Chains A and B, each alone.
Chain A
């Protein structure tokens, strides 16, 4: 466990004190409905507790995003200090993924108290509580304005504090960049989901003060909770899917052990080329899969042939050259791979028509296949094989340029050269990569499109 840097300790202490300062005036505020405060605080704490409930085990939701509507409803319903108070017990009880646990909980409590207080002030400033219509009709559509302002303020405070702590735990220097970047990304990513939560929170608040009372308000939470539960399932299923793809790649690696890591590196090189060509993100993602899976057909080739040292007989060569067709046959049914399937079939075609399996010429070869062919050859040259040592990058690029026009598409070769000039080549294998870091606002993934998410 890494010790917490001194600036981070200071920051946590300051934020905790500031949070306490936001909460404390609550004792002196007249006319607070303590029943509502207790109910909302208990509700939020219960929601947080559910995420670490031992009985639910695997089925418990991970992220706390589902419960922001409760906090936002508290902000709309209560004075700022009381709303901050309602957030604290839940924040202290919540699930913490990484150690150290105690400082993270304290940080979380201070952060949420500050954010709720600021949002409550913004809401109050615009006359939000009057617009909810306690005792009369709610003032729609005006009520949307204070609610949106409060949600934006909440989001802004959370994002800035996240940026601050990221900068504080980061290394020496560049703190300001880390702060700006962290806060900016956090705010941009979480604004839209928080605004949507704000609408749900507003509905809760309106129903809460209406004659139908808190029970009706609680009904709002059910669909929100279920949508997050489904989203959890989505992420779980998606990572399972990625593991399956990795398993396919590993199965190839096991058979053909000299080329371990080749598939992933080809995926990376293909992505470099695709970015250089300015392809949209979804196509880049598909191309990455094309690179990773280009040799999947080798599963159909006898292991003995793949591992053979020395020259192959024509018969053996013919069998190995079947692998693009085997691969295409295997992934034919995977809808989201789309164009990647043709890349798998045609990645051994050559521009002059001397390649296999079909001997396509020039532009007949699909674009993705031309990209993967360059990436494949590049990685084959720059990695060590049983029969020869790895060649340096510059030499490999020179060889690619020499064969451009005959074997490779010059456009793709140029793109690879430019990309390597810009980013360099750091071939690290990530087949054991861990789960992505939990972001403070888990639901910002909502706004991100992914290749698997947009599958038909």
Chain B
């Protein structure tokens, strides 16, 4: 991670966002705020949304992508606000950026105090995307050209939706670039996952921003509290989902530890195989859903050994006859099917010992990662090289050559 901080992409993005925010704040303070009531109302909304953000930095998936949907929606709504209660507004791009930055930071203060503030990426994205949306909308609106072009009717709503869609695309690209700069994961799959996430929380945030902007245009500031209530529902739903997901993962990890505590497998084996499998899966460009399946299956891949009467020496299945390996795999699949994880996971566990040509990619990865962990442990100090050598020798039948190559890359990067 140390080299990521020096990554030029991050420096440029953070510098641009920071300079923009500082300039906007300075400009706004110097020339004063137009329509103070509206700015204050939106500022409070954004700060409250930020205050109600969820999760620490370690959660993954949709939650990590947009941890404060109410704040994000409020910021977009302010950027796209034309009229308020039937009267035109006059705030410009710089004021929008200033209000959004100040409110986001204000809402983040309590979180920073407890050690869980927003990540720098989150702030960078917030400033840059809101700036983008505001630049697309406000100059056209404030100069009156938008009203001449589309009028204040249904087309206006469509125009807002289009601007929001563009903003969402920009945000997805920016987010993928930032993650890529930090982690060096391949860019294509990252962008694909970001775009896929747009269908979920991304579109909810965008639609909410549009609705708030339009509702304030019709009703005035009353629209903010009225429509925030249903949105808090969304936030609550996401929060609970994140909580139960975390718990679920912890429980699966515990179940996986059962084989270690029972003395069937060496300590930490399941976790190491899971980490390695996920790294290889990322390197090979698996989607986020596949990575989850891969992680669960890797954690539980040895669970079938619980059904054995006598432990295998050192729990190393890679050196057993293949019929025996397959029997244990089937036993494991039977246990996994009871645990309520998606049946994909059970399939991967069941087929982890098949020849690679019959396996799905996830099972190939687990088979290779498992063999690597066992072989490198068994062969002493030169374990890593010996293990890779033996895996390469097995690429004719057992291990998929591409997976083995990816694994050696990942190991070389020090996972």
Contact = CB atoms under 8 A, between A and B. Distances in A.
Contacts of B238: 227, 230
B218 A138 contact: yes
Interface stretch (B32-40, B94-102, B203-211, B316-324): B203-211
Interface in B243-267: 243-248, 250-255, 257-258, 261-263
B309 A303 contact: yes
Contacts of B250: 333-336
Contacts of B152: 211-212
B338 interface: yes
A244 B251 contact: yes
Contacts of A197: 230
A231 B235 CA distance: 10
A148 to B, nearest CB: 11
B244 A251 contact: no
Contacts of B215: 203, 206-207
B247 A227 contact: no
A248 B236 contact: no
Contacts of A215: 154, 157-158, 161
Contact of A248 (B214, B237, B258): B258
B397 interface: no
A455 interface: yes
B contact residues, range: 35 or more
A374 to B, nearest CB: 25
A137 interface: yes
Interface in B217-244: 217-220, 222-223, 226-227, 229-231, 233-234, 236-238, 240-241, 243-244
Contact of B340 (A241, A304, A336, A454): A241
Given A247-B338, A250-B338, A453 B244 contact: yes
B218 A223 contact: no
B261 A226 contact: no
B338 A300 contact: no
A228 B240 CA distance: 12
A199 B233 CA distance: 12
Nearest to A451: B247
A137 B83 CA distance: 13
B28 to A, nearest CB: 29
A213 B236 CA distance: 29
A246 B257 CA distance: 16
Interface residues of A, number: 73
A244 B86 CA distance: 55
A69 B233 CA distance: 13
B254 A219 contact: no
A223 B229 CA distance: 12
A241 B220 CA distance: 45
Interface string A107-150: 00000000000000000000000000100011011001000000
User: B158, B222, B241: which has the most chain A beta carbons within 10 Å?
Assistant: B241
Contacts of A11: none
Nearest to B309: A303
A230 B237 contact: yes
B309 A219 contact: no
B234 A335 contact: no
Nearest to B207: A222
A202 to B, nearest CB: 7
B244 A238 contact: yes
A297 B261 contact: yes
Given A212-B218, A216-B157, A334-B250, A203 B262 contact: no
Nearest 5 A/B pairs, CB to CB? A243-B340, A227-B234, A222-B207, A240-B340, A300-B261
Given A140-B219, A240-B340, A251-B335, 13 more contacts: A69-B230, A138-B219, A140-B222, A196-B230, A203-B215, A207-B214, A220-B211, A227-B236, A239-B340, A245-B251, A251-B258, A254-B307, A453-B240
29 contacts: A140-B219, A199-B230, A200-B230, A203-B226, A206-B215, A206-B218, A207-B218, A212-B154, A215-B161, A216-B211, A219-B207, A219-B210, A224-B230, A224-B234, A226-B200, A226-B234, A227-B236, A230-B200, A233-B241, A241-B340, A244-B341, A247-B335, A248-B254, A296-B258, A329-B257, A332-B254, A446-B233, A452-B247, A456-B243
